[in-house]
Amino acid sequence: DYWLSLLYKRLIGPKVLAIHVAGLQRKPRPGRVIRDKLRIYAHCTSYHNHNYVRGSITLYIINLHRSRKKIKLAGTLRDKIVHQYLLQPYGKDGLHSRSVQLNGQPLAMVDDATLPELKPRPLRPGRTLVIP
């Protein structure tokens, strides 16, 4: 939770954006409720983050499905480079792990007072996002 909070504080600005997600709505069978297990949020990127220009957008996606989901960005986002910050548990304990990895690299303090660099993975424009 610490690394997620740190990344959130560095990237997320105060302005919330409306988004439309196509293809997630489906009709449940009678007597059955389908809950949305793919949660997508959009914000303007924090203007305090000097790595991004004003007008940058941060999406954060939470996949509660048991399987990977694929997302294609549309509209003005389709032709933009994506900087992916993929947080996942690190190690064999899965969701019970006490360690976290960012884009496949385990996160740990450099020393008692120094945070590691949180590097994004650049994805080419138009690439499908795979959410584990």
pTM of the model: 0.83
Q: Tell me: the pLDDT tens digits for 81-108?
A: 999 999 999 988 888 888 999 999 999 9
Mean pLDDT in residue range 102-126 = 96
The whole-chain average pLDDT of the chain stands at 88
Rounded Cα–Cα distance for residues 4 and 100 (Å): 9
Rounded Cα–Cα distance for residues 81 and 25 (Å): 27
Q: How many other CB atoms are found less than 10 A from the CB of residue 118? A: 17
- How many Cα atoms occupy the beta-carbon half-sphere of 43 within 13 Å? 13
Mean pLDDT in residue range 45-63 = 90
Match 């997620």 to its residue by tokens: 4
Tell me the CA distances in angstroms from 128 to 30, 31, 118, one per residue in order: 33, 34, 22
Rounded Cα–Cα distance for residues 4 and 2 (Å): 5
